Structure 1
Amino acid sequence: MTTKVVFVLSVIFLFAGCTGSDKAENWTHFRGSQMDGHAQTETAPLEWSENSNIVWKTEVKGKGYSSPVVFGNQIWITSATDDGKEFYTLCFDFETGELLDEKTIFTSDDPQRIHSTNSYATPTPCIEDGFVYVHFGTFGTACIDTRNFEVVWQREDLKAEHMQGPASSPVIHKNMLIVHLEGTHDPYVVALNKKTGEIIWKSVRPKEIYDPLEPVYRKSYQTPIIIEVDERELMISNAAYMCFAHDVNTGEVVWTIEYGYDSTVSQPLYWNGLVFVNSGWIFLDNIPFFTRQYAIDPAGKGDVTKTHVKWMYEDEVPQIPTPIIVDGKMYMVHDRGMVTCLDAMTGEPVWKEKLVGNFNSSPIYAAGNIYFFNVKGDCTIIKPGDSFQKIAENSIGETVKAVPAFVRGKMVLRTEKNLYLIE
């Protein structure tokens, strides 16, 4: 059996003639062009503050926790008003921070409520040569031509009762834009034609399993990954209550595992033939108690809960930040700051270290180091290895919930109020 990852924006499918250096030049999805949290850059900033090593700083209209994406000389982010009545797209010049384009892409007269820790613009856009795709969950999805800033298509009919606001980011694969709308009623996944916005396939979570659940336990906020197993392309989607592996080209469910209940956020990972998925909250006596990390052999069919789970770990597993795997070790930071290093093949802990603060942003591996941003904007940089090795600590002094982008030796950092280029 040969199992290998299919990068969401791969050479084969999207960038004919694209070289390895292009991946270092662009940052196309949530957690990078390969969606694995690994930056393809040889250098990265190690020291900065509010007043040092800042190439530029520019204020961002509205509020949003979506992460920046970068293609060529453009940086794209989304934002919205605090009350959720206007939704924005913003494009900035990479070199200067100049605002190149700003649109009110959607409006809502009576927006759904969101959780106090969320924003109305949390899903990260995705971008390719010539087009950027933005998603605001139930409030709208759109494609914009990055050459003339014209809207190619937009949809406002893909609805979901998010309950706590949208958070799942869209993914480009071949001719498709894949979006998750998993709310409290009939949660579903849809693949759209990226050129037209028309539906290619739609998969609703099985009613016989989800309808008996209380509505609050049906919702999720994760972003999927796409891998290849035995020459079949699978989309790994850790929904509420259970994880689904879909045939990404048809939407067919190939296998599932069952783990618990509610509010999965952390993105799946793939490494060395194993898929790693987060369960979301496991409830005891109707109280969110802990989160589990699972390692799964993705070569099964049907319900593989009892046959293909290789290990499970549940001690201070994060709900929101996605872990990262470097050289066979998984590094994860709990929402309250405990960093755990696990052996990725066995789930055995290697070391633990407590960081200060709370964490929403996912760690990124760049130029040989791992970057951990807490919510207050403090960043701890460590060297991966068999022990905790702190390299540096820096602070930007503002709220950080987005994932930074590392390209061309620099870091693009989105805070609650500003966008920075740091060198």
Structure 2
Amino acid sequence: VYRIIFALVYWAAVSSVLQADETTPRDPSEAANDSSLAATIWNEFRGPGGAGIVSTTNVPEELTVDSATWSVATPPGKSSPILWRNGIVLTSSDGKRLSTHVYERNTGDAIWVRHGPDVPLESVHESSSPASSTPCADDQHLYVYFGSYGLICYDWHGEVVWRHPIKTPRTLYGMSTSPIIANDKLILVVDSDEDLPESNLSQSRLLAFDKQTGAVAWETPRPLQRSSWSTPTLIHHAGQSILAVLGQGRLTAYDLQSGAELWFVNGFSRETIARPLVDDDRVFASAAMLGGVADDQPDTAPYWHAILKFDANGDQELSRDEMTGPFTFPLRPDLPIDHPGFGIPMPSDPERKSARLDQMFRSIDKDENGRWSMDEFVSALSFNRGKPLLIAVQPGGTGDVSESHVSWSLHRGIPEVPTPVLIDDRIYMVADGGLLTCVNAGSGEIIYRQRLGTTGHYRASPVATATSLYVVSEAGVLSVIQLGDKFKLISQSELGDRVDATPALDRNTIYIRTEGHLHAFRSRVSSP
């Protein structure tokens, strides 16, 4: 049993979270009287070990926004909530400053908010945020990473214990990798597109810090890696503590104590986002094809249908003068055409954009008749950007173990952003368009593939209880699915707001951060 770690916290002086800096002391044990809350820890991205699981059957399975136990307005940010004792932690960025917020788990009341150093905010993709990395926590401290600044360690009173500035990496979309606690160390992947001085090698690196002081314990260069967004996972094999790190093109294992590279597996795409998973004797890692393609032989029809959304005269072809408004070459055809992830980014300057569209049109209009036909467009589609890949790896070996230690690989239904869930020797993963795939973790065989009936993008990772899987789309549709070899949809509900963050779970509650709120949906039934 963990000892109560809040010796002193603060009341919020005002109702607004952003004005909660002025506080008065409060003993949190007065509110931490629900043992089902205090006994559950969800202290990093996707909970302990990154598994995304709690062993309970009492989290509500049918819910609506109106049925929330409590809801509080929250400032902008993409980080996922974490839970420690009676606290819920989020980070935010309002476009000017970086902030860390602690709320009370029972009520949603603000306990404290602290603002980070005043620094220039990193440039991020339209669908991202300077507050995308999820904090982690232990008995003594809360650890927060902002790509714009670096690491900040707070105690549970909200006092700064240490800071460690880290140069903002150059990335395609902005930083979203999260720190993790590994024994006495704090681990952070800092992959970057920026080259070393007078070199074609990158500045990417894996860092380990003394979690008590913030001093660097070791630093391992990753010179062949470019920007990536995955969070490392700690594994234990043959008496050794190992860090599994998914990056551009490969999964790499490092010794926790020294930072030495142990082995790696090749075959992944340029963009790696999902966190590796582990069980007693395997490591699982996944990444979609560049552009979010989930299958190695994708259906081309949705791409042409996306093009025809711009077919103003309805002739089932596309002329250059119909390439108007938000037109671009589709990468994720299930998304709305004005979604920032729909297609290839276009220049904001009108002249440069027009020139780019002219070039794009000419490259596909092979017969030069001034129109794209379906055949011309489909023949121009290229899916040679790295296969979508899910693998099972036996830890061990040295160097490249791609041939010797990979038990199986799968190339269908692979998510772009969400990390899968591994439970009861099954892997559940959801790809864009609401495609849920259940895989036998022992063999890699697909058990079932099922459309959830919710199209669009999926950014939040699924989470699970002992009996149910919780999957929420970017559009805010929450699907609850019964675990097992046969698909069974238990419920589906609209949250009424966009969702990018992965939910957090305790024994009887699911906490969901939407674009504007943090909701708690709680069952009053206690776990046995």
Partner of 1:129: 139
Cα distance in 1 between the residues matched to 2:181 and 2:38: 15
Q: CA deviation at 1:289?
A: 6.2
Cα distance in 2 between the residues matched to 1:95 and 1:266: 31
Contact 2:103 / 2:110 at 8 angstroms: preserved in 1?
Answer: yes
Partner of 1:68: 81
Cα distance in 2 between the residues matched to 1:23 and 1:167: 28
Partner of 1:319: 416
Partner of 1:336: 433
Q: Give the residue type in structure 1 aligned to 2:171.
A: H
Cα distance in 2 between the residues matched to 1:22 and 1:235: 30
Q: Residue 413 in 1 paired to residue 422 in 2?
A: no
SS at the partner of 1:107?
coil
Q: Residue 221 in 1 paired to residue 229 in 2?
A: yes
Q: CA offsets, 1:49-107, max 9 Å, x none?
A: 1212x11111112x1111111111111110112x3x31110011111211111121133
Structure 1 segment 182-201 matched on structure 2, within 5 A: 182-185=191-194, 186-201=203-218
Partner of 2:347: none
Structure 1 segment 13-412 matched on structure 2, within 5 A: 24-52=39-67, 54-61=68-75, 63-81=76-94, 83=95, 85-109=96-120, 111-146=121-156, 148-185=157-194, 186-205=203-222, 207=223, 209-210=224-225, 218-281=226-289, 288=385, 290-355=387-452, 356-357=454-455, 358-412=457-511
Label 1:23 to 1:268 Cα distance change in 2 as closer, same or farther (>3 A): farther
Q: CA offsets, 1:358-395, max 9 Å, x none?
A: 21111111141000111111111111111111111122
Contact 1:24 / 1:39 at 8 angstroms: preserved in 2?
Answer: no
Q: Give the residue type in structure 2 aligned to 1:389.
A: K
Cα distance in 2 between the residues matched to 1:121 and 1:346: 38
Q: CA deviation at 1:145?
A: 0.5
Cα distance in 2 between the residues matched to 1:289 and 1:260: 6
Cα distance in 2 between the residues matched to 1:204 and 1:269: 23
Q: CA offsets, 1:198-248, max 9 Å, x none?
A: 10011111x3x45xxxxxxx2110011111111111100011121110001
Partner of 1:5: none
Contact 2:170 / 2:192 at 8 angstroms: preserved in 1?
Answer: yes
Q: CA deviation at 1:24?
A: 5.0
Q: CA deviation at 1:272?
A: 4.2
SS at the partner of 1:66?
coil
Q: Give me the CA root mean square deviation.
A: 2.2
Q: CA offsets, 1:89-143, max 9 Å, x none?
A: 001111121111112113323x332112211111111111131111112422111
Label 1:199 to 1:128 Cα distance change in 2 as closer, same or farther (>3 A): same
Q: CA deviation at 1:162?
A: 2.2
Q: CA deviation at 1:149?
A: 1.0
Q: CA offsets, 1:11-69, max 9 Å, x none?
A: 9xx9xxxxx989952211111123211113341011221212x11111112x1111111
Contact 1:266 / 1:322 at 8 angstroms: preserved in 2?
Answer: yes
Q: CA offsets, 1:343-368, max 9 Å, x none?
A: 11111111110121321111111141
Q: Residue 422 in 1 paired to residue 521 in 2?
A: yes
SS at the partner of 1:341?
strand
Cα distance in 1 between the residues matched to 2:106 and 2:411: 43
Q: Give the residue type in structure 1 aligned to 2:229.
A: Y
Cα distance in 2 between the residues matched to 1:286 and 1:388: 30
Cα distance in 2 between the residues matched to 1:94 and 1:287: 47
Q: Give the residue type in structure 2 aligned to 1:402.
A: A
Using the aligned pairs only, state the percent identity: 29
Q: Give the residue type in structure 2 aligned to 1:299.
A: G
Cα distance in 2 between the residues matched to 1:35 and 1:113: 27
Moved over 6 A (4+): 20-23
Contact 1:23 / 1:33 at 8 angstroms: preserved in 2?
Answer: no
Cα distance in 2 between the residues matched to 1:296 and 1:313: 12
Contact 1:24 / 1:41 at 8 angstroms: preserved in 2?
Answer: no
Q: CA deviation at 1:158?
A: 4.0
Give 5+ residue unaligned stretches, structure 2.
6-34, 195-202, 292-380, 523-528
SS at the partner of 1:397?
coil
Q: CA offsets, 1:158-184, max 9 Å, x none?
A: 431123111101100111111111121
Contact 1:222 / 1:266 at 8 angstroms: preserved in 2?
Answer: yes
Contact 1:137 / 1:181 at 8 angstroms: preserved in 2?
Answer: no
Label 1:351 to 1:172 Cα distance change in 2 as closer, same or farther (>3 A): same
Give the helix-richer structure, 1 or 2.
2
Contact 2:427 / 2:440 at 8 angstroms: preserved in 1?
Answer: yes
Query: Which is further off, 114-123 or 157-166?
Result: 157-166
Cα distance in 2 between the residues matched to 1:165 and 1:135: 13
Cα distance in 1 between the residues matched to 2:39 and 2:443: 31
Give the strand-richer structure, 1 or 2.
1
Label 1:228 to 1:289 Cα distance change in 2 as closer, same or farther (>3 A): closer
Contact 2:231 / 2:245 at 8 angstroms: preserved in 1?
Answer: yes
Cα distance in 1 between the residues matched to 2:70 and 2:487: 32
Cα distance in 2 between the residues matched to 1:248 and 1:161: 26
Q: Give the residue type in structure 1 aligned to 2:427.
A: M
SS at the partner of 1:227?
strand
Partner of 1:215: none
Contact 2:77 / 2:131 at 8 angstroms: preserved in 1?
Answer: yes
